[in-house]
Structure 1
Amino acid sequence: MQKTLFKMTMGLGIMVLAAVQVQAQTCAPREEIIKRLAETYGETRQGIGIARQGAVMEVYASTASGSWTITVTLPDGMTCLIASGQSYEDMAEALPPNV
């Protein structure tokens, strides 16, 4: 019984944490997000990729401060901040040899 109660409590805690993270996610028109990243953090686009359903994933970073941000822009033009952090490093690793 205690194990079941513990699992239910942990599950509820994880769901609450996930809800808080979703609520904290910032979305705005792309132009506003890009301007704020540039002016506030000195970040510029360092990488780009196509995600599901026509969304565009971009990585912005500042080589001066090391801050970085991952955004996703939806087809309707809204951009959401997905993750951010510090200690960004630009890397260009060679592909592994064909085996």
Structure 2
Amino acid sequence: MTRTTKIIHLTMLTAAAALMIAAKTEAAGANPRNCGPREAVVTRLADGYGETRQSMGLGGNNAVVEIFASDETGSWTITVTGTNGITCLVASGQGFEELAEALPAKGSDA
């Protein structure tokens, strides 16, 4: 996968995550089981699901948005870590796959 493709992929995932974060921020605060110290969350994703970080980006309020996934099972998780070091799970699912899509041609509406 080229660097440009990875950036496009990260941008699309980050935009999707930002929408989910906006919808789930209040819920995550109300349910502390969805949040914890980053190191503990990352360890749980690795040990429990075989997921490793696939991409990351900087979201609003300097929050770090990360996508973890398992190459073996296809499971994936999107996390957001605030400046306080607390990481919250905002979405998860199955069927993760890495894409290598080309940019649309200049002037194209695609």
Q: Answer whether TM exceeds 0.5 for this pair.
A: yes
Partner amino acid, structure 2, of 1:41: Y
Aligned to 1:33: 41
Where does the alignment leave 5 or more consecutive residues of structure 1 unmatched?
1-17
Where does the alignment leave 5 or more consecutive residues of structure 2 unmatched?
1-25
Counterpart Cα distance in 2 of 1:46 and 1:29: 19
Runs of 4+ in 1 over 4 A off after TM superposition: none
Give 1:49-88 correspondences, 5 Å limit: 49-88=57-96
* More RCO (CA 8 Å, sep 6+): 2
| TM-score calculated relative to the size of structure 1 | 0.76
Give CA-to-partner distance per residue, 1:38-69, whole Å, 9 cap, x none: 00000000110110001000000001000000
* Aligned alpha-carbon RMSD (Å): 2.1
Counterpart Cα distance in 1 of 2:104 and 2:27: 40
Number of positions where the alignment pairs a residue of Structure 1 with one of Structure 2:
82
Return the index of the structure with the highest Cα Rg: 1
Partner amino acid, structure 2, of 1:65: T
